[in-house]
Homo-oligomer: A and B are copies of this chain.
Amino acid sequence: MANITEIARQAKVSRSTVSRVLNDHPYVTVQKKEAVLEAIRSLDYVPNRNAINLSKGKTNIIGVMVPQINHPFFNNLISGMGEACSRLNLSLLVTPTNNDFEKEKVSFDQLRYKQIDGLVIASTVSSAEFLAEVNRHGPIVSCEWSEGSHSQVYIDHSNGIELIMNHLIERSYEKIALCLGNPDSGVGKSRKNAFYEFVDKSKIIHLKEWYFEKKYSFEDGRAVMNDLYGLSALPRAIVVGNDYVAAGIIHQAKLLNVKVPEDLAVTGFDNQSISEAMGITTIDQPIHQLGIEVIKTIDSLINGQHKNVGNTLPLQLISRQST
């Protein structure tokens, strides 16, 4: 209710002086400063953010556009961003888009409206041309690789298989099976390629019947283990593209009295909570860190660093009892 004018009246100074006190500007005597602070206390004054925003053309709010909130990746990302924002005294405005173009436009317009100082794009269905247009109105940073010249910070997924294979080789596993989800998806293809490249250029032994695909669930994993068990030649390790499938394999392995990792080593992907619960060696995406980095990037962009950047973060291997 109380505004700067009332404070000025009560403290018997001008509004400018009140403003100076509020913003810690120099050139104000201790007496007046005290008087102003006293008036602020007694009137229970708080500055109106909207007025400040209008006057400064800045809100200290960062927007983030995500397809959905209730998803491990985006949740983790938002969490990292929230932490970094809190440190930088920024606020975080979250907009779920459901991968809907119209919803995305709402978020883009917030940037043009000056409701947010910068926009972080976790994932988008909009075109590179559209992003370029939006970028003219304010800083944007994308968390996935995409065309276009705007800033990007994203996780380098290419080396996941490499990390796992090196880990297995270090531990002297040579007969290695592979179990993927959708082999035609982007990650599926790159993982499959990486695996077979590795097989070619090393002394790893890999049989045709040691390859499984389209495995997505705990139950699928149990079935894989049963299939493996029926083979005449058993691998010593299996690389799995999903923690839940890996968990199913381990579960069934124990039922079949196959010891993990002594008889069969198992690795998962994504460091889901089930992998920690069951002690599965897996690959962690530094998503939280990505959230922090992306806020640092957009913050420096907002503060005048107008050259766009492209950074990547590497994956990390989490070694547990299953290898």
Contact = CB atoms under 8 A, between A and B. Distances in A.
Contacts of A273: 244, 272-274
B247 A277 contact: yes
Interface in A42-99: 46-51, 53-54, 57, 59, 61, 68-70, 75-76, 78-79, 82-83, 86, 91-96, 98
A255 B255 CA distance: 6
Contact of A79 (B50, B69, B277): B69
Nearest to A64: B94
Contacts of A69: 75, 78-79, 82
Interface string A249-286: 00100110000000000000000111001100000000
Nearest to A254: B255
Given A76-B70, A277-B217, A96 B86 contact: yes
Interface stretch (A110-118, A177-185, A197-205): A110-118
A79 B59 contact: no
A3 B219 CA distance: 59
A227 interface: no
Interface residues of A, number: 49
B78 A94 contact: yes
A93 B92 contact: yes
A182 B116 CA distance: 44
A109 interface: yes
A113 B49 contact: yes
A195 to B, nearest CB: 25
Contacts of A244: 273, 277
A51 to B, nearest CB: 5
A20 interface: no
Contacts of A254: 251, 254-255
Contacts of A95: 82, 86, 91-92
Nearest to A92: B94
A41 interface: no
Contacts of A112: 46
Nearest to A83: B96
A93 B82 CA distance: 10
14 contacts: A47-B113, A48-B113, A49-B115, A50-B53, A50-B114, A70-B288, A75-B75, A78-B94, A82-B94, A82-B96, A92-B93, A217-B277, A254-B255, A273-B273
Interface of A: 46-51, 53-54, 57, 59, 61, 68-70, 75-76, 78-79, 82-83, 86, 91-96, 98, 103, 109-110, 112-115, 217-218, 244, 247-248, 251, 254-255, 272-274, 277-278, 288
